[in-house]
Amino acid sequence: MTELSPFETLYDHPHGHDIPLPTPLDQIYGRFSLPKVVDRTYVISNFVTTLDGVVSLNAPGQSGGSEISGNNQHDRLLMGILRAVADSVVVGAGTLRAVPRHVWTSEHIYPALVPAYRQLRHWLGKAEAPLNVIVSGSGEVDLRLPVFQTPKIATLIVTTKRGDHLLHRHEIPPSVGIVSDGAENAVTPTAVLKAIEKAIGRGVVLIEGGPHLLGDFLADRVLDELFLTLAPQIAGRDHTVERPGLVSGHCFAPGDPRWLKLTDVRRANDHLFLRYQI
């Protein structure tokens, strides 16, 4: 059982329908809702940034979200909830390289609440674990990593024609599927969503990184919501290292800005948890 204090709700403009959370998730997080979309996939994203907008320190062994959030347990609990309601979790190959031992399940991110997360997925009629989706244009991923070698985790690699050719030079684990739409250089968000729908049908897709992947989904206007944790840290930048912000690879403003609607603000100690509709 966790000893976390409850989130403080500062602003709540709910949309969609309430999803009952098992105890103790409901006691800590409070009200949670999602729109009920049946005619298409619903895409949400979850990121953590410093006060100056850094999402990765981009340093050896310190490139993941834990270094940004300070390994904040409220942030990890929320990540667990979002993974529990998701049918698939999508990350780019860069994110996989930053946290190579990770698997994208609630159990992995917050083991203390495994029974509650499992009960939530059972209530929602979802598979035991979300489909883990790795997006790699090059196909240069290590198939020996846990995300590809954990039998209960079904994993889908979405890649290009070149990446597909490279991956099939290796032995493919039985729990891993590979999909290529025939593109030569880059994987589009549309190709990712089509591959997921073909594999498991429509549902909730959770994007967890990195900034290039988020930028692509925003550019193609196929992202519905953004969950954003604001950590009380200033990381800084200088000429010695590139520290990416929330979005990379695209410039939207001033010509084509992306404006968001704030729907939820919660606080846990000095961290803020924001939620936006896009």
pLDDT (tens digit, 9 = 90+) per residue, 262-278?
Answer: 999 999 999 999 999 99
Average pLDDT, rounded, for the chain:
95
Q: Domains along the chain?
A: 19-30+41-48+66-219 (3.40.430.10)
* Measured CA angle at 235 (ends 233, 236), to 5 deg: 135
What's the rounded mean pLDDT across residues 155-177? 96
Are 277 and 260 contacting, i.e. CB atoms less than 8 angstroms apart? Answer: yes
CB 159 within 8 A of CB 167: yes
The torsion angle over the Cα atoms of residues 243, 247, 251 and 254, rounded to 10 degrees, is -110
Is 268 in contact with 74 (CB distance < 8 Å)? Answer: yes
pLDDT tens digit sequence for 84-138: 999 999 999 999 999 999 999 999 999 999 999 999 999 999 999 999 999 999 9
The sign of the torsion formed by the CA atoms of 196, 110, 37, 20 equals positive
What's the farthest any 2 CA atoms get from each other in the chain?
Answer: 53
Residue 2: its pLDDT value, please? 58
pLDDT above 70: percentage of residues in the chain:
99
Q: Output 264-268 pairs: Cβ under 8 A, ≥24 positions apart.
A: 264/9, 264/11, 264/12, 264/13, 264/14, 265/9, 265/10, 265/11, 265/12, 266/7, 266/8, 266/9, 266/10, 266/29, 266/30, 267/7, 267/8, 267/10, 268/4, 268/5, 268/7, 268/8, 268/72, 268/74
pLDDT band, residue 181 (cuts 50/70/90): confident
Q: Which two tokens stand for residue 129?
A: 């674990």
Cα 57 from chain centroid (whole Å): 18
pLDDT at 1: 46
Tokens standing for residue 204: 């909730």
